Chains A and B, each alone.
Chain A
Amino acid sequence: MVSMEFIYLAIPMASLAGAIIAGFFGKQIGRSGAHCVTISGVAVSFILSLLVLNNVAFEGAPIYNQSVYTWMISDGIRFEVGFLIDGLTALMMAVVTGVSLMVHIYTIGYMHDDDGYQRFFSYISLFTFSMLMLVMSNNFLQLFFGWEAVGLVSYLLIGFWFKRETAIYANMKAFLVNRVGDFGFLLGIAVVLMYTGSLDYYEVFDRADALVAATTQVIPGIDWSVITLACILLFIGAMGKSAQVPLHVWLPDSMEGPTPISALIHAATMVTAGIFMVARMSPLFELSSTALSFVIVIGATTAFFMGLIGIVQNDIKRVVAYSTLSQLGYMTVALGASAYSAAIFHLMTHAFFKALLFLAAGSVIIAMHHEQDIRKMGGLKKYMPITYWVSLVGSLALIGFPGTSGYFSKDAILIATKNADVWGADYAYWAVLLGVFVTAFYSFRMFFLVFHGKERMDEHTRSHLHETPPVVTVPLILLAIPSAIIGWFTIETVLFSDFFDQAIVIFEEHGAMAAVAEAFHGPASFVLHGLAPGPTWLAAGGVIAAWIIYLKKPGWAAQIKSKLELPYRILDNKYYFDRFNEIVFAATARAVGQVLWRLGDALMIDGLMVNGSARLVGWISGKLRHVQTGYLNHYAFAMISGLILLLGWVVLG
């Protein structure tokens, strides 16, 4: 019997090994070698993760919390690299490796003609390794390592097509915006270390009282609760990675990367790191209602307002990207409502149906010869039946059609938010409720425009339209199955069993999840409950509205657009976040740099102080030279004057 230590270590290392081999020896092993070795690596990770999940969920394996090696000891503080395996970790590992495996297989088809084939496989395996290190960590140091490592891979993959100016702009933007989040995150870690003296999760949670008891003055004269400060700073990190307003700006641009990574990194896994992190930190967040309010308001704002932007997008991937933003907002709302397990549950179902939607979009893009504008599509149903049906499954799951996986997780969030009592929960409830309509509307707007109605593509594209090859469609089908049914089978385990008991702490006064549990009487009645007036009707309304506007009465869309010009323009410009950032932050930083360089360094320091003092010495010596005239009477005069002054000073002084 292999020890569990070895298995835990093997899970991330299998992916890393694949990445290293494909990355450094890509030329030697060739294309098929690269995908064989990386897929084998990730497959090993996936199978072992399933084994671990089975052990934790069904065999009652005890929590594993051990260090692998000591990174550093300084000042008595142990910085470790180690694993914490409990229900939360096991679930995340299975989701990450499962989606990653599907994306690996799909990539064989999608990147078939790309020169950077080996490099791409190396990156996505490296990503899988980094994400596993993040979720398996038992301490803040390794969490931060994984956190930034996934950011690095995201940077490399968004800029994968490095000849495109838009791609290399987007990847730098993504990295920098994430760094703004990480800036807060690092300060949050510093607060935690300072007040608890440790970076180990369990030690920190045990000593969380020290954070509650203390106050600090960030602005002199105002006492801040340290726990609130710590949680908000940590959450700023989550806002960067999980693309919450106002740090969401990088995610839509990240669509410049190849579609498989939009599915893997910018939808299913990496962007959920922030959600995972807050759930992991629930013993801290529960201690601060202020921080939870902050979380729920940010989440609600993201959920509703980013969904609205999805309505006006015409790039197929950007529609899905804004939908991702909105769904991440739903998860964040759940976190703020103390419904951590509901957030993780939605994270899981979303990972499947959003990866499915992205890969389906990719399948459409392949068929359309890399055309991404949905206005130039239409009627693809008859050319691409498999893609059509899986997209339908994904869209229904996204809008929460009763019985699909998304229905269970989203309804749990809605009920939880309704019953949450932190400040801001009412606002959040209305935002996520109306968001249901918005989600249904933009999802089916896209669905109808792509698959139904008039065929608007040019003749050349139409003549080449056909279903994509099995290496693309098989992963789609494999993702469609869980998207459809996984909610039904897992809701009881994930939300209402003791699965997360040891990972997630909920205080009694935060009763949102308890209310969900009360409303739940098995999956079947939960589905029936959805048929009553409520969110499901809103979703249906959204679908019908999209059907009328974009299929039945195609003229209406343009009319509505011209009637609602101002709102349209605001949405089309994404609330002007990008322009604001470009003017206020980017341009100002460059201007400040110029001023400090030209005025500070060149003029003040070099000009006045350095060269100035050199010139001053030159000037003084120039003057002094005139004193030394060589005439005896001048010297005599100077001597006598000096003597008189000296005598005067002695006598009078």
Chain B
Amino acid sequence: MYADWPLLSLVIWTPILGGILVLFAGDKEPAGARKIALVVSIVTFLLTLPLYTQFNTDTHLMQFVERQDWIAAFNIEYYLGVDGISMPLILLTSFTTVIVIISAWEVIQYRVSQYMAAFLIMEGFMIGTFSSLDAVLFYIFFEAMLIPMFLVIGVWGGANRIYATLKFFLYTFIGSVLMLVALIYMYTQSGSFAIFDFHHLKLSLTEQVLIFLAFLVAFAVKVPMWPVHTWLPDAHVEAPTGGSVILAAIMLKIGGYGFLRFSLPITPDASAELDWLIITMSLTAVVYIGFVALVQRDMKKLIAYSSIAHMGFVTLGFFIVFRIINSGHGDQGAGLALEGGMVQMVSHGFISGALFLCVGVMYDRMHSRQIADYGGVVNTMPVFAAFMVFFAMANAGLPGTSGFVGEFMVILASFKASFWIAFLAALTLILGAAYTLWMVKRVVFGDVANDNVAALTDINRREFLFLAILALAVLGLGLWPDPLVEVMHPTIDNLINHIANSKL
């Protein structure tokens, strides 16, 4: 029944139009704005489900394709489609948005309709980014989603929000400008803005290296990779809970997605040539950032740093493939690495989102994010503590949770690239457990630390709802990742074939 529906357009424009509707509904009736926002987000989520259920796992070709001329003079098209890489991320986006709307329910009292609208509109832009197959369309969505996020942090953020938003905006903006230059250059070479035309565009090594570096700046900032990561802790600390959740769960993924959609297939030779750079940056993220996370005093900063370390596995998985292919032991492992990076992105969306929500739950009650202000939360919030420990364990990569799957795959695969890469990556087992559990020890366990903790009340039904949904997602993906991994196989296999062939 869905075959003829322009499903992707629907899931892009439903939340955007819904967001505008919420905006016009205004703040006079905040309860109404919340309800409309919730309905829109749920409808959007339901509309994304057929993308999974109707997905054909036998082909690497784009599915649910919509293609129309848009600006014919420059050969720019309204060109949408999804494959095994983008489809899971779209579902993650629509899923997370529902969670964020629920989580903001009574917490946000200031300009409710605008807050809800910002997230709905952002959802549409993010889904647009994942499903655009035209570079200009991609670029527009890519830039546009910054605006609502900028507003979310700037309007509902903390005390130091102006510095954080400026830093966030400049970083991401400078990165994407270079990408625009690269896109326009490739247009001049190919006469088209279709991303697949870029994939097959012959480019010399010099051209590839320059294009690769332009993309690298754009996507490394988004992921974020060390050393362009410092905007993230600041942005997280100032952002309201919902902003942090979307930032961690979805926006960072756009960097990872960009590497797979642009860098690897468009510049395979430069990627192979410069893989040492990405591998070094990724391992630095795992180890260096792991140590930095250990000494954080602000819970949100700690989780932000932990995000950077976990995203290191994504880029590591994507760029060790060249070493695996050239290892002389066959290319088994390359798919494991790429799919591991993908799984890690989805899993990190659940876990980091959940951890930011946990901090939000505590912040709403105590108005502090400082670890030192807590201690013995389990005494007054036992149900919440159970969730917190569960998500912390998932963050530490406990088998049976989703946090294990991606890291496991990438570590196994990286052994094929080099013993030492695997060695350094596997240090996350120790570091990740150390910074997460030390935080849990100081915040959750222990005797009641002070009167504020003694006065805490356990989570209400709404908070229970969104934490439970996320816990089920984390557990489900950890106990049975195949339904997620299965949809990626043809796309990933095709990508490996593509990048194994030199463009030179």
Contact = CB atoms under 8 A, between A and B. Distances in A.
B486 interface: yes
Q: Which of A73, A194, A601 has the largest count of B CB atoms less than 10 A from its CB? A: A194
Given A144-B399, A163-B446, A175-B433, A72 B481 contact: yes
A169 B445 CA distance: 10
Interface stretch (A89-97, A312-320, A430-438, A591-599): A591-599
Given A74-B336, A148-B399, A175-B437, A183 B426 contact: yes
Name the interface size band of chain B. 35 or more
A175 B438 CA distance: 11
A218 B434 contact: no
A149 B399 contact: yes
18 contacts: A69-B480, A71-B481, A72-B405, A74-B485, A152-B393, A155-B437, A162-B376, A163-B376, A163-B446, A165-B446, A179-B429, A183-B426, A183-B429, A186-B408, A187-B422, A194-B412, A594-B295, A597-B291
A596 B399 contact: no
A203 to B, nearest CB: 14
A162 B446 contact: yes
Interface stretch (A42-50, A58-66, A417-425, A603-611): A603-611
Interface in B401-427: 404-405, 408-409, 411-412, 414-416, 419-420, 422-423, 426-427
Contacts of A149: 398-400
Nearest to B435: A593
Contacts of A594: 295
Interface in A163-214: 163, 165, 168-169, 172, 175-176, 179-180, 182-183, 186-187, 189-191, 193-194, 197
Contacts of A162: 376, 378, 444-446
Contacts of A606: 230
A145 B400 contact: yes
Contacts of B167: 610
A77 B332 contact: yes
B430 interface: yes
A18 interface: no
Contacts of A461: none
Nearest to A145: B399
Given A149-B399, A172-B438, A593 B485 contact: no
Nearest to B288: A596
Interface of A: 69-77, 144-145, 147-149, 152, 155-156, 159, 162-163, 165, 168-169, 172, 175-176, 179-180, 182-183, 186-187, 189-191, 193-194, 197, 216, 218, 589-590, 592-594, 596-597, 600-601, 605-606, 609-610
A187 B424 CA distance: 11
A421 to B, nearest CB: 31
Contact of B339 (A75, A179, A590): A75
Contact of B398 (A77, A152, A163, A590): A152
B295 A72 contact: no
A70 B481 CA distance: 9
A593 B409 CA distance: 27
Contacts of A175: 433, 437
A521 to B, nearest CB: 47
Nearest to A590: B295
A589 B419 contact: no
Nearest to A197: B332
Leading 6 A-B pairs by shortest Cβ distance: A75-B335, A190-B415, A593-B295, A593-B291, A145-B399, A593-B294
B430 A596 contact: no
B227 A605 contact: yes
B227 A609 contact: yes
Nearest to A595: B291
A199 B84 CA distance: 26
B329 interface: yes
Nearest to A167: B445
A106 B376 CA distance: 29
B481 A176 contact: no
Given A71-B480, A175-B437, A597-B291, 16 more contacts: A72-B485, A74-B485, A76-B332, A77-B336, A148-B404, A162-B444, A163-B376, A163-B446, A172-B441, A176-B430, A180-B430, A187-B422, A189-B412, A218-B420, A589-B294, A605-B230
A155 B436 CA distance: 14
B260 interface: no
A601 B415 contact: no
Interface in B261-299: 288, 291-296
Given A145-B400, A597-B295, A75 B446 contact: no
A589 B399 contact: no
A592 B291 contact: yes
B422 A590 contact: no
B291 A589 contact: yes
B59 to A, nearest CB: 18
Interface in B457-504: 479-482, 485-486, 489
B297 to A, nearest CB: 10
Contacts of B295: 590, 593-594, 597
A244 to B, nearest CB: 18
Contact of B447 (A163, A182, A191, A597): A163
Nearest to B378: A162
Nearest to A142: B399
B355 interface: no
B182 interface: no
Contacts of B423: 187
Given A162-B445, A597-B295, A183 B430 contact: yes
B485 A218 contact: no
Contacts of B415: 187, 190-191, 193-194
Given A183-B429, A194-B415, A168 B446 contact: yes
A423 B486 CA distance: 48
A219 B411 CA distance: 19
A149 B399 CA distance: 7
B140 to A, nearest CB: 27
B292 A190 contact: no
Contact of A597 (B292, B329, B416, B486): B292
B333 interface: yes
Given A145-B400, A148-B398, A168-B441, A176 B339 contact: no
Nearest to B448: A163
Nearest to B294: A593
A606 B433 CA distance: 27
Contacts of B438: 172
A84 to B, nearest CB: 18
Contacts of B340: 74
B334 interface: yes
B379 interface: yes
Given A162-B446, A163-B446, A75 B486 contact: no
A72 B446 CA distance: 39
Given A73-B486, A75-B335, A172-B437, A193 B379 contact: no
Contacts of A187: 411, 415, 422-423, 426
A273 to B, nearest CB: 14
A324 to B, nearest CB: 24
A179 B433 contact: yes
A601 B292 contact: yes
Nearest to A180: B430
A148 B295 CA distance: 25
A600 B411 contact: no
Contacts of B486: 73
Contact of A190 (B227, B376, B411): B411
Nearest to A614: B170
Given A74-B335, A75-B336, A180-B430, A610 B485 contact: no
Contacts of A218: 419-420
A176 B433 contact: yes
A73 B437 contact: no
Contacts of B227: 605, 609
Nearest to A146: B399
A70 B332 CA distance: 19
A187 B295 CA distance: 27
Contacts of B404: 148
A186 B425 CA distance: 11
